Structure 1
Amino acid sequence: MTTPFTLKTSILFLTICATQLVQAHEYDALIKAKKYADVEKAVSTKLATEPNNPDALVARTELILIEGKESRLDEAVKIAEQCIAHNPKHSECHESLGNVLGTKAMRGGVMSAISYVGKIRDSFKKAIELDAFNFDARSSLMQFYLQAPSFVGGGTGKAKDLIVETIKVSPAAGALLQASLDLHEENMERAISGALAVNTSNSESLAKHQRNTLSNIGHSLVNEKKMTEAERIFRELCQRFPDSSLGFYGMGKTLQEQGKMKDAVPHFEKSIAIDANANAYYRLAKAWQQLGEKVKAIATFEKALNFKPELAKKSKSDAEEQLRLLKASI
């Protein structure tokens, strides 16, 4: 699954034994390839003959979340609830409901979040109950515990309990989950050593979650202005996972935050070549703008604004303003 209660790109984790991994639904590869039109066509075809097919219903909620339109979230909730009603023992149906309600909570603010927290938590817990190896659901529940206040069911105590439970399923997965807690508690050195120590050579899925963990650590270091340490983490990411955009984007951001625009550009370009997204285009446009490359900056800001999923509101507003200023200056 792709969108949790908080940032699902935070700490995700998976068992080392590939034969024990929860299987992705049949549309997962197309979604990862960003062939969204093909997914929608395939899902519609499937639902025309099997209206309650769980894989198709889960994929449709994912498409709505990827689209990012707040106006369609209620529709996504109904689809997830339909998935559960007709497939009550399907783990991903419950996870899907938690993902959608979590997104609604984030978009709606504090009061909205409070009204959904019970269902969000219970959806992820049910998903884990039905499939102990649904580590995406475990990750989302972990983030819930770390982000939600104690009076609505959050807290590090429950996060620690979840780690203990996860270690019984997979020590490697538990190690990455522990790194998530260490990062939350600002025990940076332990988070770094724990995340780096996990052997991911036997599992691409586990490697994916290690990439996400290290990326979050790197961005936290940037936020703390610890640029040398951040460069070390992102350099490690680039070396270990040259086919992933995360290390290159992170390195570009780290250099950009230090004012090294010329050095940042090739990293953003490499990130976009691997896996384009609105944020990478936005940061590349800002770099071109600082370097005085107005034409390139205009073209790249336009790509950032036209990309789906779209930029966050603050970045989108800034991109629109910078684009206006650039066009006026030519």
Structure 2
Amino acid sequence: MKTKHSFSTLFALICLSTGSHIAQAHEYEALIKAKKYAEVEKAVSLKLTTEPNNPDALVAKTELILIEGKENRLDEAAKIAEQCIAYNAKNSECHEALGNVLGTKAMRGGVMSAISYVGKIRDSFKKAIELNPNNFSARSSLMQFYLQAPGFVGGGKDKAKDLIVETIKISPSAGALLQASLDLYEENFDRASSVALAVNTSQSESLAKHQRNVLSNIGHALISEKKMAQAEKIFQELCNRFPDSIHGFYGLGKTLQEQGKVKDALPHLEKSLAIEANANVLYRLGKAWQSLGDKVKAIAAFEKALSFKPELAKKTKADAEEQLKALRG
């Protein structure tokens, strides 16, 4: 499994690790978490009319653009993050927001784009941590950077290990979750799982989010390795620990579907969709209904998947279009 990832894969992993680009806690985080995006947009606009350089509002504005998923607004988001830094140079979340935006630009732009942004992305996360050592989402993003980026652009396993040691001094729990990410990178799935599951995050929402993302990464890696029984256990644990999150139900549905257990997968995928609609869930629902012979529901799911933003990855999108054409034909 251990392969040298492309730059685009690197930034996909960074974006995943940050929890859909949501930065450390700010005034609008609860509303964003509740997906009340129109309410956030209104509140942010109102705030910026009286305080045009308010850091919470500027960070939230970048997050809204990233959630919207329109590539043509990424330059705007970068300028907003840079404005946030220019007027709030000691605000950790402003620097993290820039790292998240540039990471997304690099992911969408391909290899050359990634090379041009890679130093700024690394430095943005490092600065965010320097300003707020308890910014665990930035620590998670920097960890993924060190594990996936080549040494000539500042990556490397030794730097990842140093970050773990440094993090343990501040928070043993956060350090353990970073260690689990390193174990996963080294394909030690059993240790990665046991370390991540053992962390008590009940007193910290930020760490709970980090744990959820690490466990989800482990689960999907286990699927890739065809270790389905282990993957099921991880995703079931995610369902139990985070019943309001899409991660466990989507992962469990995917695991069962990959084993041909479509009827068993369906309720988990539907539960996932009820929690949070996204293109990947809709695509898998389309495949499930197609397998079960319900053309009407399959067509509807594929159509929604193809129109959803952020959109499907190119390979998945092409397959959805092909399946939809076959179903209509």
Q: Same fold (TM over 0.5)?
A: yes
Which residue matches 2:231?
Answer: 230
Structure 1 counterpart of 2:194, which letter?
S
The question of whether the paired residues in 2 share the 8 Å contact of 1:12 and 1:177 is answered with: no
Query: 2: CA distance between counterparts of 1:129 and 1:288?
Result: 49
1:314 is the counterpart of 2:321:
no
Structure 2 CA distance for partners of 1:123 and 1:210, relative to 1, 3 Å? same
Structure-2 change in CA distance of 1:204 and 1:54 (3 Å): closer
Displacement of 1:12 in angstroms is 6.4
Instruction: Indicate conservation of the 8 Å contact 1:30/1:36, yes or no.
Output: yes
Normalising by the residue count of structure 1, what TM-score does the alignment of the two structures yield? 0.91
Q: Report the equivalent of 1:57.
A: 58
Find out whether 1:180 has 2:186 as its counterpart: no
Q: Does the 8 Å contact 2:24/2:93 carry over to 1?
A: no
How many residue pairs are counted as aligned between the two chains?
A: 317
**Helix, strand or coil for the counterpart of 1:7?**
helix
Q: Deviations over 1:193-223 (max 9, x none)?
A: 1011111233333222212111111110100
CA distance in 2, matches of 1:24, 1:77: 20
- Post-superposition offset of 1:319: 1.8
Q: CA deviation at 1:307?
A: 2.6
Q: Distance in 1 between matches of 2:236 and 2:271?
A: 14
| Structure 1 residues 15-30: aligned runs within 5 Å | 24-30=25-31
In structure 2, C-alpha distance between the alignment counterparts of 1:255 and 1:126, rounded to whole Å:
41
Q: Tell me whether 1:245 sits opposite 2:251 in the alignment.
A: no
Distance in 2, matches of 1:232 and 1:207, equals: 18
Which residue pairs with 1:78 in the alignment? Answer: 79
- Number of the residue aligned with 1:203: 204
Q: SS of 2:44's equivalent?
A: helix
Amino acid at match of 2:243: P
TM normalised by structure 2 equals 0.91
Match of 2:94 in 1: 93
Q: Distance in 2 between matches of 1:137 and 1:320?
A: 36
- The answer to whether the Cα contact below 8 Å between 1:12 and 1:136 also exists between their aligned partners in 2 is yes
| Conserved 8 A contact 1:5-1:120 | no
2 CA distance for matches of 1:235 and 1:82? 42
**1:284 counterpart SS class:** helix
Amino acid at match of 2:183: D
Tell me the distance in 1 between the aligned counterparts of 2:79 and 2:273.
Answer: 35
Once structures 1 and 2 are overlaid, which stretch shifts more, 106-115 or 319-328?
319-328
Residue 7, structure 1, aligned to residue 48, structure 2: no
| Partner Cα distance (1:195, 1:11) in 2 | 14
Asked if 1:297 is matched to 2:303, the reply is no
- Counterpart-to-counterpart distance in 1, 2:46 and 2:318: 38
Superposition pairs of residues 120-159 of structure 1, within 5 angstroms: 120-159=121-160
Larger mean Cα displacement after TM superposition, 40-49 or 234-243 = 234-243
Deviations 1:121-171 (A, max 9, x none): 111111111111111111111111111100110001000000011001100
- Cα distance in 2 for partners of 1:228, 1:262 equals 17
Q: Is the 8 A contact 1:6 1:143 kept in 2?
A: no
Runs of 4+ in 1 over 3 A off after TM superposition: 8-13
Q: Kindly report the root-mean-square deviation, in angstroms, between the aligned alpha carbons of the 2 structures.
A: 1.8
Structure 1's unaligned 5+ residue stretches are 14-21
Could you tell me the percent identity over the aligned residues?
79
Q: Which residue of 2 aligns with 1:255?
A: 256
Of the two structures, which has the highest relative contact order with CA contacts closer than 8 Å and spacing of 6 or more? 1
Which runs of 5 or more residues in structure 2 are unaligned?
1-9
What CA distance in whole angstroms lies between the structure 1 residues aligned with 2:188 and 2:112?
Answer: 31
SS in 1 for 2:13: coil
Q: Contact between 2:266 and 2:288, CA under 8 Å: does it hold in 1? A: yes
Displacement of 1:8: 4.5
In the alignment, is the contact (CA less than 8 A) between 2:282 and 2:305 conserved in 1? yes
Q: Which amino acid aligns with 1:7?
A: L
User: Aligned residue for 1:160?
Assistant: 161
Find the aligned partners of 1:176 and 1:298 in 2 and give their Cα distance: 40
2:31–2:39 Cα contact (<8 Å) kept: yes
In 2: Cα distance, 1:199 partner to 1:268 partner? 28
Seen in structure 2, the aligned counterparts of structure 1 residues 323 and 295 have a Cα distance that, compared at 3 Å, is same
Amino acid at match of 1:321: E
* Paired residues of 2:136 and 2:206 also in contact (CA < 8 A): no
Deviation (angstroms), 1:228: 1.3
Distance, in Å, in 1 between the alignment partners of 2:68 and 2:128 is 24
Give matches, 1:264-303, under 5 Å.
264-303=265-304
Could you tell me whether the CA contact under 8 Å between 2:140 and 2:210 is conserved in 1? no
SS of the aligned residue for 2:119 comes to helix
